[in-house]
Amino acid sequence: MSLLERILAGDRLALARLLTQIENEQPEGFEALSGLFPRTGHAHLVGITGAPGTGKSTLVNRLALELRSKTRATVAIVAVDPSSPFTGGAILGDRIRMRDLTGDTGIFIRSMASRGALGGLARTTAAVVDALDAAGYGWVLIETVGAGQAEVEIARTAHTTLVIEAPGMGDDVQAIKAGILEAADVLVVNKADLPGADNAVRALQSSLELASGVRRVWDHHGRLEAVDAPDDGVTWLPPVLKTVAALGEGIHEVVDALLNHRSYLETTGGRARRDRERLSQEVHALLGDRLLAQFLESHASADLGAALEQVFARQSSPRQAVERLLAAQS
Ligand SMILES: Nc1nc2c(ncn2[C@@H]2O[C@H](COP(=O)(O)OP(=O)(O)O)[C@@H](O)[C@H]2O)c(=O)[nH]1
Ligand SMILES: [Mg+2]
């Protein structure tokens, strides 16, 4: 059997091997992925992002188990943590903590290390997610650190973006600071067992109102009570939920929010729109990579070097330098 056939037959080792090939940018990996691509487009992709230590891995762990027992769907987890190398504490810790999930063959876990190349992380993650989608996982949960353009972008381009926050990480609400609040479909204040959780919930709620212009009324449990806006059933109002992921508290509600958001996307056509956005972004990025590589191959690096020297000397603007390089090519 070929690697591809084995993956489609549910062989987890074959899948792990393909993911390694993709991470190492081996041509046979990309070839196999192209063969699998027609089978993608079925998984629901959830990006989970937030500052380090907010409890992303713990929450993802719980969500996977809950999704499994509630919907019977299979779940893949992709942990993207560019700040720590494979041997580093965070990922090693994640792996050990996640060991309790691995007895279930309906859950597949992959930790990714950062690739050095600029933008490479987002590209490689997209390829890994495609492979998991093609392999038939119903849900793909992608954990990324909510810092850095690539990481936020990965979470943002999922079908559902979950932004996680925790109290006691300074007075500022990190999601507001990082500018990812507007991308959030579901907001979670984890570590609700610690003081300051209610403040974090309120801060998120009021910035959501500011951002959307929609006034919301919350009951004293922090649950949405009323919305002062036309209830046309078309507007998604990101819920703000409290969890204690370490103890499994509040997980049902988060899973319900994920299921609700998935239905919302399906009924409003938002799913297809997000798919098109994500795929066209991927094509654009790959095209850009390839064109640059082609250009560099067909040109003596001396040309580029000379053009750069002119820019350094302020004799030509960066834009002029590019114009000249391209004109010289034709
Ligand atoms: N007090 C408390 N600690 C938690 C909770 N959830 C996770 N933690 C702890 O917070 C630390 C960071 O969790 P982790 O999931 O690795 O965070 P990540 O860096 O965002 O992935 C770990 O020591 C967890 O055990 C919670 O709900 N309450
Ligand atoms: Mg983590």
112-126: pLDDT as tens digits: 865 545 457 778 888
Best of 58, 81, 91 for a ligand 1 pocket test (most atoms within 8 Å of beta carbon): 58
Pocket of ligand 1 (CB under 6 A): 50, 52-58, 190-191, 193-194, 244-246
In the prediction, which pLDDT does 188 show?
Answer: 96
In the prediction, which pLDDT does 282 show?
Answer: 87
In the prediction, which pLDDT does 173 show?
Answer: 67
Over residues 259-269, mean pLDDT: 94
In single-letter form, the type of residue at position 129 comes to V
In single-letter form, the type of residue at position 300 comes to A
* Residue, of 174 and 20, whose pLDDT is higher: 20
pLDDT in tens, 125-148: 889 999 999 999 999 999 988 766
Q: Tell whether the model's pLDDT for residue 160 goes beyond 70.
A: yes
To the nearest 10°, report the CA torsion of 163, 166, 172, 173.
20
What's the CA-to-centroid distance between 174 and ligand 1, angstroms? Answer: 16
Atom of ligand 1 nearest to the CA of 145: 20
Residue in the structure block whose two tokens are 């034709």: 330
Question: Helix (H, G, I), strand (E, B), or coil: what is residue 160?
Answer: strand
What's the CA-to-centroid distance between 56 and ligand 1, angstroms? Answer: 7
HSE (CB half, 13 Å, CA atoms) of 188? 31
Atom of ligand 1 nearest to the CA of 190: 27
- Of 70, 186, 81, 184, which is closest to residue 138 (Cα–Cα)? 70
Q: Tell whether the model's pLDDT for residue 31 goes beyond 80.
A: yes
* Residue, of 84 and 34, whose pLDDT is higher: 34
In the prediction, which pLDDT does 171 show?
Answer: 57
Question: Helix (H, G, I), strand (E, B), or coil: what is residue 228?
Answer: strand
- Ligand nearest, relative to CA of residue 193: 1
In single-letter form, the type of residue at position 33 comes to L
